[in-house]
Amino acid sequence: MNGKLMKAIILAGGEATRLRPLTCNIPKAMVPVLNRPFLEHLINYLKEYNIIDIILAMGQLPEQIQNYFGDGSGFGVRLTYSVEDFPMGTAGAVKIVEKLLGESFIVLNGDIFTDLDLTAMVNFHREKNPIATIALTPVKDPTIYGVVETDGQSRVRHFTEKPRWSEVTTNMINAGVYVLEPDILSYVASNTFFSFEHDVFPPLLEEGRAIYGYPFESYWIDIGTPEKYFRLNRDLLLRYIGDKDVKLEGESFVHPSAQIEGPAIIGESCFIDRDSVIKGPAIIGPGCQIGQGATVEGVVLWQNCEVAKEVKLRNCIIASNCYI
């Protein structure tokens, strides 16, 4: 990214109720995607744009995130942690770290994966010079999202939260990525639940402050539900592994009679027993055991799962330390 290095805030404090039971004992940011925590993918995404000064705004179970990432040096970034005592909302979470934000900064929802070109978005923001720029992406069903209407110059004119089909005027939604100016936080009350989407952006429009939308059509998905989380794993598996390839991560035992059809990733220290079958797309976490004659197809297994003899699994997610 050109110019002065920017800071980014990843909002990882949500309770992830829609992902339960997967997130009963693990924060959403730590659910595995291709056998790596989802948050690691977000950090790598920011690092691609030379954004290495990252603030993690966290809520439940923050120790799991801190223990895994530490100060970020092992991942090529600098991490600062901010832990909420109670839910603060998207804007309230950023308000907590206001003193760390002296220049334009990026806010990224911690449950989205995207190929959005951040350099292009930041350049757009600098050209237009608004108080906020919101990434906008098209979706087939805008009624389950927040719709953002813009004029011919991409200036935001109106927000509509989860409109009825009769109210839909655009399929462009808030994609959960913002480039913001520090003075936007003067509109956010301290120690109070505050949302950019409901409590900050609409009042700014009423005051006549400039907010712009940055439209893009590259890959975007939120992992707020098990179905979408499952889809992201499959999409990235096809992207990085290909249609037929099989990747072994570290040493595992695979019996000569076992059949593995890609695309598939098999984590380290797995045991794939005789006459078992793995059919892709499949992601097998580290330490998993696939029993004799078992068949797993289209699955995402987290770590240390055991699939017993002759069991058949298809199109499912199995969390860590489960016995099937």
The predicted pLDDT at position 47 comes to 96
**What domains lie within the chain, and their CATH numbers?**
7-227 (3.90.550.10), 242-318 (2.160.10.10)
**Mean per-residue pLDDT for 4-25?**
78
Do residues 116 and 175 touch, judged by C-beta distance below 8 A? yes
Mean pLDDT, range 252-274, rounded to an integer: 95
Query: Above 90 in pLDDT, residue 87?
Result: no
Q: How confident is the model at residue 24 (pLDDT cuts 50, 70, 90)?
A: confident
Phi-psi region of 321 (alpha: psi -120 to 50; beta: other; left: phi over 0): left
Assess contact for 285 and 267: CB atoms under 8 A: yes
Residue carrying structure tokens 């237009």: 128
3-state secondary structure of 229: helix
Which tens digit of pLDDT belongs to each residue from 223-234? Answer: 888 899 999 999
CA angle 192, 89, 204 (to 5 degrees): 80
Q: Give pLDDT, residue 275.
A: 96
Q: Of 235, 229, 324, nearest to 21 (Cα)?
A: 229
pLDDT for res 162: 80
- Res. 1 pLDDT band, cuts 50 70 90: low
Q: Which of 13-22, 79-88, 284-293 has the lowest average pLDDT?
A: 13-22
Helices (H), the chain: 38-48, 62-69, 89-95, 118-128, 201-206, 226-241
CA gap 28, 9 in Å, rounded: 16
Tokens at 141, concatenated: 């069903």
* Interval 160-196: pLDDT, tens: 878 888 888 889 999 999 999 999 999 999 888 999 9
39 touches 14 (CB < 8 A): no
Q: Phi and psi dihedrals of 270, rounded to 5?
A: -90, 160
145 or 111: which leads in pLDDT: 111
Measured distance CA(253)–CA(251) in Å, rounded: 7
Q: pLDDT category, 200, cuts 50, 70, 90?
A: very high
């098990």: which residue's tokens? Answer: 226
CA distances from 48 to 45, 51, 69, 164, 291 (A): 5, 7, 18, 38, 40
- Give just the sign of the alpha carbon dihedral 159, 162, 165, 167: negative
Does residue 17 surpass a pLDDT of 80? no
Average pLDDT in the chain: 91
Residue-level pLDDT at 4: 60
Q: At a CB cut-off of 8 Å and minimum separation 6, what does 19 contact?
A: 28, 31, 223, 224, 225, 226, 229
Separation of alpha carbons 159 and 13, rounded Å: 24
Give the single-character DSSP code of 154.
S
Task: Give the C-alpha separation, 11 to 107, whole Å.
Answer: 7
- pLDDT at residue 3 in the model: 54
Distance CA 141, CA 135 (A): 17
Calculate ∠ Cα 197-201-203, nearest 5°.
125
Average pLDDT over residues 111-136: 96
Cα of first residue to Cα of last residue in the chain, in angstroms, is 47
pLDDT at 22 over 80: no
| Structure confidence at residue 134 (pLDDT) | 97
Cβ–Cβ < 8 Å for 176, 108: yes
**Predicted pLDDT of residue 161:** 79
Please check the confidence at residue 102 and state whether its pLDDT lies above 60. Answer: yes
Rounded Cα distance between 30 and 28, Å, is 5
Distances (CA, A) of 168 to 36, 140, 177, 250: 38, 12, 22, 50
Please give the pLDDT value at position 146: 80
